[in-house]
Amino acid sequence: MITEITAPFALPTPGTAVPGASAPARRFTLDGDDRLERRLAQTCGKILAALRGLLPPHKLEAVLLGGGYGRGEGGVLITPDDHRPYNDLEFYVCLRGNRHWNERLYHRALEILGEILAPQAGVELEFKIVSLAELARRPVNMFTYDLFAGHRWLLGHEGLLSGCKHHGAADTIPLFEATRLLMNRCSGLLLARERLGHTHFTASDADFVCRNIAKAELALGDAVLTAYGLYHWRCRKRHERLQQLVHNERSPLSSWLNEVSYYHGVGTEFKLHPIRSGSSRDELRAYHAEVADIALRTWLWLESRRLGRVFRSARHYAENEVEKYSGASRVRNFLVNVKALGLRAFFARNRSRHPRERVLPALALLLWEPEVLTSPCLLHRVQTLLNTRASSVPGLIAAYRSLWQQVS
């Protein structure tokens, strides 16, 4: 029963939003104090100055802050002394010219810049190179919708997005975007379970596990809303819609949806008001198992809906040969494999299929199939999917992480 499920971390009561702070462009958080708001503004100023010094002026077209802080609902870590940022700061660096070439030229430099400035910011800094011209041409996905709907300009103006209005239609987000969201958040669950197995389980490990569980909880409801065409860029609005969906549902799905809504509520509050976990390894392991279970049921529901066939288990899903990611040509798929695997792509059996075709079933087996190491056929299946000879959990997860990060 839902009422018996208790998160192993206590969530603080949400604070009261500052009066007049409804416009997301004016604030980074819903209810962070003024010192935190000033700190974030100063960080953004330093980032912009650094970008202007690093990148050629004729290349730099605009800089946007996306993510939670760009939408005005960034996480606020409340300590006895002050309010602090918690989530990564996501900067979208808009460069003129071909995006792929720009990534080749500037990605590493931006990565180093993030490593240098992160200690001053107090959180990780993430830089994503984008092309506004390409954004105007490409179809909507969850990433472009979130960016278009909620952002903060550091350099540039709203007129630069005049050709991108189609990215504001949440009901046109493709169903695979829900799958991709679950793929990424369930990958976080997989990495969290690996941390739970560390010989020495540190406070940093506990925080990593807690954070990735919360991200997965939020993603469950977000994936369901995307499947129903009800996704929204504000997380509390999404939770309201999910609750209404549960209220209106009168089918056998209602019990499962009620669970999804519960966990989504926990994830929403953690996103807005994160805490440092004080839970033991055993408490987190038990809660991780609960969330992984509802995640599997959500995964099977979503993929059955998307692919038009019923999947009874993670193993059934992984062994089914139905094409799980389509739409790209064989030539493009091969080029993506070369980018992900290097020269190994020329010898891979599945080189004409997009790498996500391998990531999805590999994730299902590694996260949800307990016999993946004891069953020779399942182990061989995972090794084939990941193009690895590894036979241990660390080795398989390392191979999975390497491939997943290329296509997430």
- The domain boundary, picked from 138, 155, 172, lies at 172
Statement to judge: residues 99 and 62 lie in one domain: yes
Predicted confidence (pLDDT) at residue 20 exceeds the cutoff of 50: no
Closest CA to 52 of 121, 155, 128: 155
The confidence score (pLDDT) of residue 333 equals: 58
Flag whether 4 is in a domain.
Answer: no
Statement to judge: residues 40 and 138 lie in one domain: yes
Statement to judge: residues 24 and 162 lie in one domain: yes
Predicted confidence (pLDDT) at residue 15 exceeds the cutoff of 60: no
Of residues 70 and 339, more confidently modeled: 70
The answer to whether the predicted template modeling score (pTM) of the entire model surpasses 0.85 is yes
Residue-wise pLDDT tens digits, 287-296: 999 999 999 9
Flag whether 9 is in a domain.
Answer: no
Which of 59-63, 71-75, 322-326, 399-403 bottoms out in mean pLDDT, i.e. has the lowest? 322-326
Q: Indicate the number of domains in the chain.
A: 3
Residue-wise pLDDT tens digits, 29-80: 999 999 999 999 999 999 999 999 999 999 999 999 999 999 999 999 999 8
Range of 256's domain? 174-310
Domain of residue 199, CATH code: 1.20.120
**Average pLDDT, integer, range 233-249:** 94
The confidence score (pLDDT) of residue 355 equals: 87
Does residue 296 contact residue 216 with C-beta atoms inside 8 Å? no
Statement to judge: residues 139 and 251 lie in one domain: no
Domain of residue 38, CATH code: 3.30.460.10
- The domain boundary, picked from 172, 195, 223, lies at 172
Statement to judge: residues 151 and 29 lie in one domain: yes
Statement to judge: residues 137 and 279 lie in one domain: no
Flag whether 305 is in a domain.
Answer: yes
Flag whether 238 is in a domain.
Answer: yes
- The domain boundary, picked from 113, 144, 172, lies at 172
Closest CA to 260 of 228, 306, 307: 228
Sign of dihedral through CA atoms 194, 200, 204, 210?
positive
Flag whether 153 is in a domain.
Answer: yes
**Average pLDDT, integer, range 144-160:** 95
The confidence score (pLDDT) of residue 2 equals: 39
Statement to judge: residues 101 and 245 lie in one domain: no
Statement to judge: residues 164 and 219 lie in one domain: no
Dihedral angle computed from the Cα positions of residues 215, 217, 221 and 224, in that order, rounded to the nearest 10 degrees: 90
Statement to judge: residues 58 and 122 lie in one domain: yes
Closest CA to 188 of 406, 404, 393: 404
Contact partners, residue 378, CB within 8 Å, separation at least 6: 315, 365, 369, 371, 372
Flag whether 10 is in a domain.
Answer: no
The confidence score (pLDDT) of residue 1 equals: 35
Contact partners, residue 230, CB within 8 Å, separation at least 6: 170, 171, 238, 241, 242, 245
The confidence score (pLDDT) of residue 281 equals: 95
Statement to judge: residues 188 and 125 lie in one domain: no
Flag whether 178 is in a domain.
Answer: yes
Mean pLDDT, the chain, as a whole number? 89
The confidence score (pLDDT) of residue 26 equals: 77
Statement to judge: residues 163 and 32 lie in one domain: yes
Statement to judge: residues 90 and 121 lie in one domain: yes
Flag whether 77 is in a domain.
Answer: yes
Neighbour count for residue 90 (Cβ, 10 Å): 20
What is the CA angle 281-217-278, rounded to 5? Answer: 30
